[in-house]
Amino acid sequence: MSKPMTITEKIFAHHCTKDFVEAGELVEAKIDIALANDITGPIAIEVFEKIGLKSVFDKSRVVLVPDHFTPNKDIKSAQQAKILREFVKKQNLTHKFDVGTMGIEHALLPEKGIVTAGDLIIGADSHTCTYGALGAFSTGVGSTDLGCAMASGSTWFKIPQTIKVIVNGSFKKYVTSKDLILHLIGKIGVDGALYKTVEFCGTTFKTMSMDQRFTLCNMVIEAGAKNGIIEPDEITFNYLKNRSLREPLFFESDKNAAYEKIIEINASEIEPVIAYPHLPENTHTINEAKKDNIKIDQVVIGSCTNGRLEDMKMTAEVLKGRKVHPNVRLLVFPATQDIVLKSIELGYYQTIIEAGGAVSTPTCGPCLGGHCGILAQNEVCISTTNRNFVGRMGHIDSKIYLANPYIASASAVLGRIGSVEEL
């Protein structure tokens, strides 16, 4: 009888063709998807070309998405995108994305069925951990490792230890998975899960949508985690049905699998969480933020964390019949073209624009201080993105607060950080 394993260990064992792996073990594993963007891709391509091979290991499994600086903001970013475009054409890669067809990579790949349950995915972007929401192992790597993997179809890993996070109960109104992950990061710190798996389970997930799950797994990297993962269930099955381009593989943890530690959270006790500058672990409740009377200049709703359809719905729900404060700029970034179309169809765009918000084509834009919303000196932004480091969205003297879409939208109307109940 084989030894008990976690879901992450089972995925590794499958991709190493081994019966058993354990935490701390060094392994070489086959990958299902190698991903890069317009910042990291050109470096990976350079590494690949130095190896001297004529073609990538699998044309359907190397995916390049120009999303960080597109539409291109300057000559340098245009050159970066051109390198991707030419490589995709030269290699005749199966998946071709560009302005008008692309989206933010970590929303686009699940939507298109390119990643699926049981996959082992690497991406030259730290938020590749998003796909753990599907029951896949996915993690960020450096561009050099990515370039080599594009050639070989495999790379080495150290099997991570696993932290099990059991979440039971139901969220209060206007509380989301963004608050859950910020609550967890505030609890364990930005290095609290360093090179570890964060495995989520509990009754809360019986009703948690895929959009919410993506948000949750997306931000485990902000606690230093190697990956976040949720065991597939009926919600996962229904999402993947008629979507996955490859046959999903459904793994689950054995009951007596070994965990480094177990953390239990009561979802019903979580309040909306605000991460103050300049770390995601600097968490405060919305009631504390109200008392601090934090005036804002800009609100950003979108990114690979909160740019999905449910996030657009939350935003429109709060803004319906209201106006953005005259001292505030509201910028909304849907994560894919499909989300754009559905938001138009459902009237979300009209509501946002009538309220005084601006809506962009899909792009990472201001999240990384790229374009479409750079902060000036001493400006304050509340954002649904994932990082609030010094200078992350512009000037080093600007400040970023992280929150869920309900709080960000309400703050846009109030002109300060506040809650929906205040409107």
**Structural contact between residues 357 and 334, judged by C-beta atoms closer than 8 angstroms:** no
Residue 361 exposed, middle or buried by CB count within 10 Å (0-12, 13-18, 19+) = middle
- What pLDDT does 1 receive? 52
Two tokens at 71?
A: 């539409």
Distances (CA, A) of 393 to 281, 399, 400: 18, 9, 8
90-144 pLDDT, tens digit each? 999 999 999 999 999 999 999 999 999 999 999 999 999 999 999 999 999 999 9
Cis-peptide into 278, omega within 30 deg: yes
What φ, ψ does residue 40 adopt, rounded to 5°?
-90, -25
For the chain, which domains are there? 7-265 (3.30.499.10), 273-417 (3.30.499.10)
H helices, E strands: number in the chain: 14, 17
DSSP one-letter string for 152-210: HSEEEEEPPEEEEEEEES-PPTT--HHHHHHHHHHHH-TTTTTTEEEEEESGGGGS--H
What contacts 13, CB < 8 A, 6 or more positions away? 5, 19, 20, 21
Which stretch of DSSP H or E encloses residue 399?
Answer: strand 399-402
Distance CA(289)–CA(303), nearest Å, equals: 23
**Structural contact between residues 205 and 166, judged by C-beta atoms closer than 8 angstroms:** no
**Structural contact between residues 265 and 183, judged by C-beta atoms closer than 8 angstroms:** yes
Q: What is the DSSP letter of 211?
A: H
- What pLDDT does 415 receive? 97
**Structural contact between residues 132 and 226, judged by C-beta atoms closer than 8 angstroms:** no
Which stretch of DSSP H or E encloses residue 301?
Answer: strand 298-302
Residue 376 exposed, middle or buried by CB count within 10 Å (0-12, 13-18, 19+) = exposed
134-176 pLDDT, tens digit each? 999 999 999 999 999 999 999 999 999 999 999 999 999 999 9
What contacts 401, CB < 8 A, 6 or more positions away? 274, 275, 276, 277, 289, 294, 296, 380, 381, 382, 383, 388, 417
- What pLDDT does 2 receive? 73
- What pLDDT does 248 receive? 97
Distance CA(188)–CA(313), nearest Å, equals: 31
Distances (CA, A) of 53 to 43, 56, 95: 16, 7, 20
Distance CA(289)–CA(274), nearest Å, equals: 7
pTM as predicted: 0.95
Low-confidence ranges of the chain (pLDDT < 50): none
